[in-house]
């Protein structure tokens, strides 16, 4: 019906302020600013963009917004300064049917760069270049941003294209969309890999391609087939920003990140017969450490609720243990220091092996015990 869609400009700091002032409705526990409030408080603005666009990505200094055309072979670039200026001057071309102010396209747009077919997403390096995935062309286009990165004829120009394997959706450059992108590489996240790898069955892997962007010409360095999921959005960040634990403090529940209320130390293992909600139950406080599960005999009555609080008391990195009872469809993986709760109803009488299901030492196969379910 229309030749244009709208880029939605949301002044989120102003939205925060409006929430603080209590000008919101609560729906299902979520604070919601109504469209009317957003318009009256000057939070929401539109500006035209070519029909059916795809990604909107912001350049490192926050100065440009690149909208990939998808059905149009262009990136449309808007100036953040010009958007602010138009908002301050209330320089609108009109309002949409709901009353949202529309900023003039020609006032806030600074460039349209012809890239190729199917532009989807744009990432940035540290030198003023933008990299846009071209879904139909199966390429990445490298192009220059405007001032202060590039001036005059050098600005808004495609300088290189690289063929990648089909079909690229997202792409990722280290710390792109941040004030300090790292450059050097871009990774193409390709959705298919037909004709790319030996055929091992109908299910093909998805494929990442690492591209060197340090020189004038982009160069595909390596293919990286992955066996899981469709590679959608991804971010690459500096490894030094990750401060990971090597092991949990012993007795941690990784879901709450607090001490598990039923964690125990070595020597405190025990079995208690009790009731849960009036039903007969056996509660087991167990530890796992190379190469024993304690207790190694668990005797219960048929029909018992069996609840096992299992603590991996290891403090050694990578000393993960498992707790498996095949016939009861139980398999838990416990990282070093983790406490987990395993629960089932012992409805099948018999003697069942439980054992560690994560290789943990040369005595891994000996890390086992018996569940005895006495018939009633
Ligand atoms: Cu083990």
Tell me the pLDDT tens digit for each residue of 331-354: 999 999 999 999 999 999 999 999
Phi/psi of residue 108, each to 5°? -100, -20
pLDDT band for position 263 (50/70/90)? very high
Q: How far is the CA of 324 from the centre of ligand 1 (A)?
A: 11
The stretch 164-172 carries a mean pLDDT of 91
Cα 342 to averaged position of ligand 1 atoms, centre (Å): 17
Under 8 Å between Cβ of 158 and 145: no
Calculate how far, in angstroms, residue 336's C-alpha sits from the geometric centre of ligand 1.
10
Cα 298 to averaged position of ligand 1 atoms, centre (Å): 18
Task: List pLDDT tens digits, range 175-216.
Answer: 998 999 999 999 999 988 888 899 988 888 889 999 999 999
The Å distance, Cα 364 to ligand 1 centre, comes to 5
pLDDT bracket for residue 2 (50, 70, 90): confident
Q: What is the pLDDT of residue 1?
A: 66
* Predicted confidence band of residue 35 (pLDDT cuts 50, 70, 90): very high
Q: What is the ipTM of this complex?
A: 0.88
160 burial class (0-12, 13-18, 19+ CB within 10 angstroms)?
A: middle
pLDDT given at position 112: 97
Question: Long-range contacts of range 360-367, CB-CB < 8 Å, 24 or more positions apart?
Answer: 360/290, 360/291, 360/319, 360/320, 360/321, 361/290, 361/291, 363/290, 363/291, 364/291, 366/291, 367/288, 367/290, 367/291, 367/292, 367/293, 367/321
- Alpha carbon of 338 to ligand 1 centroid (Å): 13
User: Which residues 6+ apart lie within 8 Å of 205 measured at CB?
Assistant: 193, 197, 225, 226, 227
Q: Give the pLDDT score at 282.
A: 98
pLDDT averaged over every residue in the chain: 95
pLDDT digits (tens, 9 = 90+) for 46-88: 999 998 999 999 999 999 999 999 999 999 999 999 999 999 9
The rounded distance, in Å, linking the Cα atoms of 197 and 131 is 26
Domains and CATH numbers, the chain: 4-241 (2.130.10.10), 252-374 (2.60.40.420)
pLDDT score, position 373:
98
Instruction: Provide the percentage of residues in the chain whose pLDDT is more than 90.
Output: 90
Supply the Cα-derived Rg of the chain in whole angstroms. 29
């Amino acid at each position: 019906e229309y030749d244009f869609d709208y880029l939605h400009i949301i002044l989120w700091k102003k939205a925060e302020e409006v929430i603080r002032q209590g000008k919101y409705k609560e729906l299902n526990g979520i604070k919601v600013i109504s469209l009317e409030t957003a318009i009256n408080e000057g939070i929401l603005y539109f500006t035209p963009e070519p029909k059916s666009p795809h990604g909107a990505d912001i350049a490192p200094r926050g100065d440009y917004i690149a909208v990939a055309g998808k059905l149009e072979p262009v990136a449309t670039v808007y100036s953040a300064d010009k958007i602010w200026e138009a908002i301050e001057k209330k320089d609108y071309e009109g309002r949409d049917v709901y009353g949202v102010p529309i900023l003039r396209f020609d006032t806030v747009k600074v460039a349209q760069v012809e890239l190729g077919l199917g532009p989807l997403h744009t990432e940035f390096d540290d030198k003023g270049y933008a990299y846009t995935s071209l879904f139909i062309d199966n390429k990445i286009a490298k192009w220059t941003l405007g001032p202060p990165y590039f001036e005059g004829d050098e600005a808004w120009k495609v300088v290189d294209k690289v063929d990648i394997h089909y079909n690229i959706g997202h792409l990722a450059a280290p710390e792109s969309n941040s004030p300090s992108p790292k450059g050097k590489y871009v990774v193409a996240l390709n959705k298919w890999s037909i004709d790319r790898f030996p055929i091992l069955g109908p299910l093909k892997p998805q494929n990442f391609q690492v591209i060197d962007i340090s020189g004038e010409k982009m160069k595909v360095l390596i293919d990286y087939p992955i066996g899981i999921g469709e590679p959608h959005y991804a971010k690459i960040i500096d490894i030094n920003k990750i401060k990971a634990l090597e092991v949990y403090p012993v007795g941690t529940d990784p879901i709450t990140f607090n001490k598990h209320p039923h964690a125990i130390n070595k020597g405190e293992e025990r079995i208690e017969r009790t009731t849960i909600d009036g039903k007969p139950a056996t509660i087991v406080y167990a530890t796992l450490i190379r190469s024993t599960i304690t207790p190694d005999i668990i005797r219960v009555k048929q029909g018992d609720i069996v609840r096992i609080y299992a603590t991996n008391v290891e403090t050694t990195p990578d000393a993960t243990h498992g707790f498996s009872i095949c016939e009861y469809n139980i398999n838990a993986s416990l990282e070093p220091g983790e406490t987990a709760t395993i629960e089932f109803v012992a409805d099948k009488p018999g003697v069942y092996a439980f054992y560690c299901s994560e290789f943990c030492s040369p005595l891994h196969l000996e890390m086992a015990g018996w569940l005895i379910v006495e018939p009633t």
